Amino acid sequence: MITYNEQIRTFKLDTPRTSYVMGIRDGGFLLNLYYGRRLPDDDLWALSNRLPSASFSPSDPDYTDFSTDVAPMEYPTNGRGDFRVSALSVRGADGSSVTDLRYVSHRMFRGKPDLPGLPHLYADDDSECETLEVTMRDPLTGVEAVLVYTAFEDCDVIAKHVRLTNRGGRTVKLERALSSCVDLPSMDFDLITLWGRHAKERQFERRPIARGLQGIRSKRGSSSHNHNPFAALAQTGATETTGEVYGFNLVYSGNFTLTAEVDHNASTRIVMGIDPSDFGWLLAPGETFVTPEAVHVFSADGLGGMSRVFHRCYGEHLIRGRWKTEKRPLLINSWEAAYFDFDTDKLISFAERARELGIEMLVMDDGWFGKRDNDRSSLGDWFVNEKKLDLSRLIDYVHSMGLKFGIWYEPEMISPDSDLYRAHPDWCVHVAGRTPSIARHQYVLDVSRPDVRENVYGQMREVLCRYPIDYVKWDFNRNLSEAGSALLPAERSGEFFHRFVLGTYELQDRLIRDFPALLLENCSGGGGRFDPGMLYYSPQIWASDNTDPIERLNIQFGTSLCYPASSMGAHVSPCRRTGYRTKGDVALWGTFGYELDPNDLSEEEREIIKEQVAEYHGYYELIRRGDLYRLICPWDNDFVSAWSFVSEDKREALVTLVRMRRQEETLLHLKLQGLDPDAFYTVEGTGERYSGALLMYAGVEMTGAAWDDGDSCKLHLIAE
């Protein structure tokens, strides 16, 4: 619900348990007055009296009792006396980057507007949320900023983006155009972020914030393995289950910044949006630029509470289409089983064995097109390698067995050894006069160009129309360097990175519109583009090329900070670190599937896999619709990790514990969370009965059943 109190000129955006309050100050300054637990409406006036005092600070001569230097600014601009990190900086035709925004008007309406060309949260029904648009204007340049906020009524989420329009008479350049800023009157926070690299994505990092700047960004052209566009500010001492936590996530797949700055008054500003360092956007009179959307979550129930809000929100308001609700097929992927070394018969043998195990879809990974027998050629030549494959025979056979069929693409890339490159060498991302760098023997295809998109999409469309393909894995295996496009004039070169991302979004949008039954899975050398932008197009994303179940724990726990289980691509592979049971128990947390040669399995392994397939079906709804509780996180404990899924009605729970390393002396009483304390639960298999209260407050002993390095065990609880 959103209200505006005319008397005190204050907006209040309420979600079920949170409030976000803004005030219009004399002079038209828009202030960020409060974000946190839900407040009543009656005494909001008190919030605007809390400005710190300022000396040495510039003020508007008409409003000298106020300085942007110390005020909590809602959308801070550059050069007007606020010296902290700003959200907007516009270089006017006069060459100055001083930018000033003052309130003009506002409107409120039910529902949520779309962001043209950009991924965003959505509401199926206008009753699910309400939107506030606050229009601000820079009197000199005429730049208008419409700050667009949506407050959801079924989850504690506020989405925000900004529409910037040039209402002046001369072209200006946006040098910073961020999506959001939150100013909090405290520095008692830890900053939590997810760092990583290839095969080690989304590792948890927590550090106390300090005065000055701190934060994360990507300049790699994609959100990247290295930092996820997510950050949390956790009240000092907040834990998984207690304390106040703010979560921030940018719905974007390109260069981003998430920066926190603590000033001399110990107030903390956090801004997020497109990274300004390689950005510049010309805005001619009448033109509009729309920022990506930022998602804000507040929880008073610790990190776990924050994560569950993100999970519900993304399950309901981000993931779309048929596969949002329809059961997704359990797949086997050819990559770790065969790499580039396959032909029709080998894949048929995978499908036959997989079917015996109950697997529902065969995915043919990299290596089916052009002349691709290794990673040195053919990206861009998206036609079937008929020397290697009879694709019609393969798909017909796979379908005749009742399995679905999927295929791999890497549409935004081009190999120097490809027909496409030989025909169009200027179609790769490059800067004239500089040799483009190579990574994994490939260049990046310039999908900022409409003609390039038309070509690559045309090639994909031809294959997908010709063959009945049920699933596409969309990969992206390098970072961008020498970023430039032959079509962009010099003064627009700063637009390249964002135009590239918009090009990718357009391609994925066309794909899922033209083939609505297709299941799309994004991937980027594992989980290098695991972000909410990608989730808008594909309901699942391959989480990492690292399928070692112990290493996966850190990756999956980290990913779960804001992404739901249903989105997290997780497979059982031939990795020998643990047995199949642990591999299956860990992969069960995610989308679940296999990445191995099913011809190589022992009889015992086949039996275990059949049991896992049954478990996958049995727990499908619980894992996808239930609430996740991180019971013991690998960043808190070197020996054991544990998590559970609890159904929304608390009648069912699945608890999993993994022994990472043996620890001789202790039995551990694992305290469960999220159960009904008054209910009695029966343990499947043993028939033991425990109260929810006992399970949560005294705990349950599970380590005995997972004693050695790499062991795991599960507890399935059903309420009577």
Binding site for ligand DGJ (CB under 6 A): 335, 365-366, 408, 475, 477, 523, 525-526, 542, 545
Considering the complex, what minimum distance in angstroms separates the CB of residue 479 from ligand DGJ? 14
Considering the complex, what minimum distance in angstroms separates the CB of residue 340 from ligand DGJ? 8
Tell me how far apart the alpha carbons of residues 626 and 241 are, in angstroms, rounded to a whole number.
17
Considering the complex, what minimum distance in angstroms separates the CB of residue 525 from ligand DGJ? 5
Task: Give the nearer residue to ligand DGJ in terms of CB position, either 495 or 545.
Answer: 545
Task: Give the nearer residue to ligand DGJ in terms of CB position, either 315 or 525.
Answer: 525
Task: Give the nearer residue to ligand DGJ in terms of CB position, either 315 or 549.
Answer: 549
Q: Tell me the pairing of strands 404-409 and 361-364.
A: parallel
Backbone φ and ψ for 29, nearest 5 degrees, come out as -75, 135
The residue written with tokens 């059961």 in the block is: 327
Considering the complex, what minimum distance in angstroms separates the CB of residue 363 from ligand DGJ? 9
Q: Are 291 and 177 in contact (CB under 8 A)?
A: yes
Residues 646-669 as b/e (b if ≥16 CB within 10 A, e otherwise) read bbeebbbbbbbbbbbeebeeeebe
Considering the complex, what minimum distance in angstroms separates the CB of residue 528 from ligand DGJ? 8
Annotated catalytic residue, options 475, 531, 585, 627: 475
Considering the complex, what minimum distance in angstroms separates the CB of residue 472 from ligand DGJ? 12
Token pair for 100: 């000033």
Task: Give the nearer residue to ligand DGJ in terms of CB position, either 378 or 712.
Answer: 378
Annotated catalytic residue, options 100, 138, 381, 545: 545
Task: Give the nearer residue to ligand DGJ in terms of CB position, either 263 or 366.
Answer: 366
| Positive/negative CA dihedral, 50, 55, 57, 58 | positive
Task: Give the nearer residue to ligand DGJ in terms of CB position, either 338 or 420.
Answer: 338
Task: Give the nearer residue to ligand DGJ in terms of CB position, either 75 or 530.
Answer: 530
Q: What is the DSSP string of 618-644?
A: HHHHHHHHSEEEEEE-TTT-SSEEEEE
Considering the complex, what minimum distance in angstroms separates the CB of residue 523 from ligand DGJ? 5
Burial bucket for residue 509 (CB in 10 Å: 0-12, 13-18, 19+) = middle
Tell me how far apart the alpha carbons of residues 524 and 547 are, in angstroms, rounded to a whole number.
15
Residue 545 designated active-site:
yes
Residue 475 designated active-site:
yes
Q: Are 225 and 198 in contact (CB under 8 A)?
A: yes
Tell me how far apart the alpha carbons of residues 525 and 423 are, in angstroms, rounded to a whole number.
27
Report which residue's Cβ sits closest to ligand DGJ.
366
Chain centroid to CA 334: how far?
Answer: 26
Q: Are 717 and 696 in contact (CB under 8 A)?
A: no
Coil, strand or helix: which one is 551?
Answer: helix
Q: Are 701 and 669 in contact (CB under 8 A)?
A: yes
Q: Are 75 and 136 in contact (CB under 8 A)?
A: yes
Question: Which residues form the catalytic set?
Answer: 475, 545
